[in-house]
Structure 1
Amino acid sequence: MKLSTIAKTSLALGILTTGVMTTYAQSADAAVQNVGVQIVSKEAQILHDYYSKTFWDLRNVNGEREGNVVKVIDKSQLTEVKLLGPEQNIIKDKESSQLDVFVVREGNGKQAPTLSINGITKTNKNQYYDYNANPPVTLTKKNDNTIYQESLGRFETNKEQITLKEIDFRLRQKLVKEKDLYKSSVSNGKIVVKMKEKGIKNDYYTFELNKKLQEDRMGVVINPKDIKEISIDI
């Protein structure tokens, strides 16, 4: 075989071999990148599932207390609300009326009755046709040396009393739906509810996004008119 023929054959084999190796490397890298995008930690998935749940906002219902549980019936549906933290002192009588209950089902089953934790406030004394309070909500994203801010509108409520449970849940559910919270790389950050009165002990409330709101804090009740603004950092 001529030397020129051998050289051409070797060159062709080299190109073919290199091409195969390059293609394999690219495919392997792409596979690793795809796996990285799809991976969501177990903790983040649990939070995503919880804050994606349907909630019920029961208004002006009656409750019967047994120990640290309040039983509420609305439209033939029984809900058992476990009282933890300061909310245990809100319902003192065995039977209470004019209650509002923010319900999020605990657990993953379809058990009856519905089990929920805290979220009870007193029903409004006055009637509102739109909202009672609507503090602004601002989102701040930090990426390397870049800081990006945008308005998420206002947190509107027509309640005279509201629990931290409802504020936390509604805000996080909005982030899950609109900002992919707990998907991709968005799993950390915090929500800060800033109050107007600076002289009180708690002039702000913070919700850490990498964990579920503590159960004993779910029952903390505040006047939404006292909220100055809400900031979210992710």
Structure 2
Amino acid sequence: MKLSTIAKTSLALGILTTGVMTTYAQSANAEVQTSVQNNNQSQDVNDLLTYYNKPSFDHRNVRGYKTGDKVDFVDEKYNQHSEVGLVGNNKDKYKSDDDLSNIDVFVVREGNGKQSSDYTIGGITQPNKLTYKDYVKRVPFSVESTSNGWKVEQGLGAHEISKEEISLKELDFKLRKKLIDKKLLYTDGKKNGKIVVKMNSGKENDKYTFELDKKLQDHRMGDVIDSRNIEKITVEL
């Protein structure tokens, strides 16, 4: 029996052990599509608060197996199975299982039903090439708002990033979670504004924007950037 066959057999056993049947995938996908029909439209503040208050999981150095537009993996440390949807550029990024032999995956489970509890979108990155004691990058993090015609800037310290390569999914999720914890977002109906991640290339348009009145679009969740090239992060409220 080939090594890849043995590995996939082990994955299947791991999935069964966790009590998750992969035949749930279609219904899970359908539930996700129903819950958010159009990521380009403004969403209800309570729905946004529910999503960005979900638990997140950071799986390191796992092996994935690609089938169509999804990747399955089991984190053996926690015996946890997850199914990762490949959307947008991710569909063509991973050609075979060899491209997924050692990956990190940031997981936020989509949907609210039991059948979708193992389904996530994007968040796949390559492990760090170097060893770091605490973090890879500390990025200046601040909030800009307007009061009585004056622009006010509030420093929020530094946002620490532990990965050389980070997905927009992880960056967006963790930044919004910080704002929620500080009662600056999705409290008292507050949901307008954007997060701007400015890169240090010196080019004005070299930046990434997350609109706060909607969940990050599915097709962007698999996009990755080099965290070491981030200059600053500004929240415009």
Q: TM-score, normalised by structure 1?
A: 0.77
Cα distance in structure 2, aligned partners of 1:127 and 1:111: 38
1:209 and 2:185 aligned: no
- Displacement, 1:184? 0.7
3-state SS in 1 of match to 2:137? coil
Structure with max Cα Rg: 1
- Displacement, 1:153? 1.3
- Asked if the contact 1:78/1:113 (under 8 Å) is kept, the reply is no
Cα distance in structure 1, aligned partners of 2:189 and 2:131: 43
- Asked if the contact 1:78/1:112 (under 8 Å) is kept, the reply is no
- Asked if the contact 2:43/2:213 (under 8 Å) is kept, the reply is no
Q: Indicate the RMSD between aligned Cα atoms, in angstroms.
A: 1.9
Q: Identity of counterpart residues, as a percentage?
A: 45
- Asked if the contact 1:80/1:113 (under 8 Å) is kept, the reply is no
Distance 1:90 1:155, change over 3 A: farther
3-state SS in 2 of match to 1:135? strand
- Asked if the contact 2:167/2:224 (under 8 Å) is kept, the reply is yes
Cα distance in structure 2, aligned partners of 1:105 and 1:131: 25
1:67 matched residue in structure 2: 68
Cα distance in structure 2, aligned partners of 1:42 and 1:211: 5
- Asked if the contact 1:193/1:231 (under 8 Å) is kept, the reply is yes
Matches within 5 A, 1:1-150: 43-74=44-75, 75-95=78-98, 96-111=100-115, 114-150=118-154
Distance 1:153 1:110, change over 3 A: farther
3-state SS in 1 of match to 2:128? coil
2:26 matched residue in structure 1: none
- Asked if the contact 1:77/1:113 (under 8 Å) is kept, the reply is no
Q: TM-score, normalised by structure 2?
A: 0.76
1:184 to 180, 188, 210: 188
- Displacement, 1:121? 0.5
1:175 to 159, 171, 179: 179
- Displacement, 1:183? 1.9
Distance 1:208 1:173, change over 3 A: same
1:153 to 149, 154, 157: 157
Where structure 2 has 5 or more consecutive residues not aligned to the other structure, the ranges are: 1-41
3-state SS in 1 of match to 2:91? helix
- Displacement, 1:230? 0.4
3-state SS in 1 of match to 2:219? coil
Distance 1:213 1:113, change over 3 A: closer
